[in-house]
Amino acid sequence: MVLLADLTQDEMIAWVTARGLPAYRGRQLYAAVFRRLATSFDELTDLPRDLRTEVAQEASLVPLVVQQRHRDEQAETEKALFRLADGALVEGVLMDYPGERGGGRHTVCLSTQVGCALGCRFCATGLQGWTRDLSPGEIAAQVLHFERVLRARGARVTNVVYMGMGEPLLPYENTLASMRLLTDPHGFGLGQRHVTISTAGIVPGIRRLAHEGLQVGLAVSIHAATDEARSALMPLNRRYGLDELLDACREYVELTHRRITFECTLIGGVNDGPDDARALAERLRGLLCHVNIIPWNRVDEIPFQPSSRARVTAFRDVLAAAGLPVTVRDTRGSAIQAACGQLKTAATRARRASLRPLPVVMA
């Protein structure tokens, strides 16, 4: 069956006209998916009943259902574990940042792959391995879900970050297609400047993205300032070392004139010392960038410890003293396992426990 959320408006029009329907029916379907956020063909009351039945036999509206939903009211964070049509599980997170007079930001962190092949040593998703890439509609549908949640509260999604499960620049075409669906003014209508695509350092993808003429943000996970230290945390560094990665980042800045965000997850006793901070400052000197320090979220299966608040502060101060713009990311949602891959890992662990044979007790 065709997933309607995979289709652009032009593709939707082509799909309906191939079935002998007028073009405006395609525009109606597109609006139903990306503006009205329909979850059932019964909601498409602007279509004749027999046409709704016909379309429902060949197409699907919603590619995912919520298997688990957790909200941390104190952290104003909500996480969903989505089940896809083939039974695969992915995660999405909604983070609320209240502002004055009921405004504020509402950011969705979405996934692009089922699992991840990169195997970063500190990441829960890396424990799962890679199963498959998500389609453009499966990626975009995570945002549509949280938009429904927000509309019920009189709000809407203001920002999208591609920082969930998977490496966004590996399924490059699907990632960009989903971004274009979400930023299409005829559809969902999010501004490109409200979108950030993150990467662990896929150098060809960074160079390709630099030539797209987009207004999206780029975030690069750096995490260490030497090849030895970064390779120990991120096996990808053995393929694309720091010199090659930073050359690609400089090319990106030169072509786009846009600042890069470097993400640095701090792990206690691993990469959070003052020498680590000074080495990072030296690596990034002269590059148009911002550093976002991320205190590591504990994962039961990974034998690391989070950095202390004092070491995080000292690391930040070294970077700031070197003239680098630097912030420390809020640690949100630890009570609901909001870090990348944690909820699926927990669900998989619970399922395996439920399937474990019971011990035989002799009478």
Q: Which residues are catalytic?
A: 91, 340
The pair phi, psi for residue 85, each rounded to 5°, is: -60, -30
183: tokens are 């930023």
d(CA 41, CA 51): 10
| 158-195 exposure pattern, b = at least 16 Cβ within 10 A, e = fewer | bbbbbbbbbbbbbbbebbbbbbebbbeeebbebeeebb
Sequence-ordered list of residues with C-beta below 8 angstroms from that of 202, at least 6 positions apart, any chain: 167, 169, 170, 236, 240
**348 touches 300 (CB < 8 A):** no
What's CA 356's distance to the chain center, in Å?
A: 33
**Residue (of 8, 3, 37) closest to 183 by Cα position:** 8
CA distance linking residue 303 with residue 327, whole number of Å? 26
Element (H, E) at 132: strand 130-133
Name the residue type at position 301.
E
